[in-house]
Amino acid sequence: MHRCIELARLAGGNVAPNPMVGAVLVYQDETIGEGYHQQYGKAHAEVNCIASVKGEHRHLVDQSTLYVSLEPCAHFGKTPPCVDLIIEKRIPKVVVGCRDPFVQVNGKGIEKLKEAGIEVEVGVLENECKQLNKRFFTFHTQYRPYVVLKWAQTLNNKLASSGDDRLLISNECTNRLVHKWRSEEVAILVGTNTAFYDDPQLNTRLWPGKNAIRLVVDMNLRLPSTLKIFDKTIPTIVFNKLQHSLPFEKGAAQTLTGLHYYQVTEDVSLVQQILNGMYHLGIQSILVEGGAQMLQSFINEGAWDEARIITNEQLTIGDGLPAPQLNNYQAVDEQRVFSDVIRFYQNAGN
């Protein structure tokens, strides 16, 4: 199962909204097949695993045990049900890391395997398998995107100077890491002031990964059209109170191109409207990159799962914009990248 998880991670950023899944086929303690779900809409892990079995081992398939990190699907989606292939190949035993919370699966795959006379063991490295797909599980059990907060601050907890000049806090290596983080999420969110004063591109130009959908708040649509986020090279959604142009189909995020508008109101939490809207569109995760007010809003409402705080320990300034303040958190990791220290936190309430 450890190997299943290792394989599954190879598809990070390439399979959403599907989960990352790895599979291993074992005959008498010898691995004869491996596979993972490599790309959204393409073959699932079980299919690739069975297809990888070499000719001299084909006759062993119906005497082997299939290990898979997530319950095999039992429904027709982009591909046929994996349980049908497992049954067809007469694999006698399947070891499952954890059940799939997706309503069209959620136990149905396990049930169908058992009905076919296949021995099924469930819950091996269950917590690790759930952690592997924390975005997928949050989306299907809490009905909202998985939320990652990120900011860079000085040693004395400032995000920016008091003037209009942009303060460069993190170093080049840390910046590359941030671009990697962007490639791992479905969408990136910034507030009005961040978009205007920083004019960010919000892409993954420093990392060979997929660009996330850009989200920006501009309640009165006053941001200039010359900003980089409006260049239409990446799907972009503007949250505002004046107009709406997004399709209403569930899961529409998969086919978005260009610039779109999502209308919100001022009498309801903006954070909750963003989360509800993105859930409807099928966006499973959001990286909130700023600014301070936007980040603090997510913190105050408890609407976050992870926080990644980059601190330049060689930089202090006088007057400046204070960094957000976490509450109800648990520290989980820390790493150093030259002058920058990155601290990782989890929401203790989730």
DSSP annotation string for 27-49: ETTEEEEEEE--STTS--HHHHH
Residues 6+ apart with CB under 8 A from 202: 182, 188, 190, 212, 214, 228, 229, 234, 289
Residue among 232, 194, 193, 192 nearest 213 (CA) = 232
Q: CA-CA distance, 61 to 56, in Å (whole number)? A: 11
Place of tokens 């006759």: 59
Please say whether the beta carbons of 237 and 263 come within 8 A. no
Please say whether the beta carbons of 13 and 184 come within 8 A. yes
- Catalytic-residue membership of 46: yes
Residues 6+ apart with CB under 8 A from 73: 44, 81, 82, 83, 100, 104, 105, 109
In the set 46, 184, 289, 306, the catalytic residue is 46
Place of tokens 């708040």: 217
Q: CA-CA distance, 288 to 190, in Å (whole number)? A: 6
Q: CA-CA distance, 105 to 121, in Å (whole number)? A: 17
Structural tokens at position 315: 């930089």
Strands across the sheet containing 22-27: 30-36, 22-27, 65-70, 93-98, 119-122
DSSP 8-state secondary structure symbol assigned to residue 205: T
Residues 6+ apart with CB under 8 A from 79: 41, 42, 43, 44, 47
Residues marked as catalytic = 46
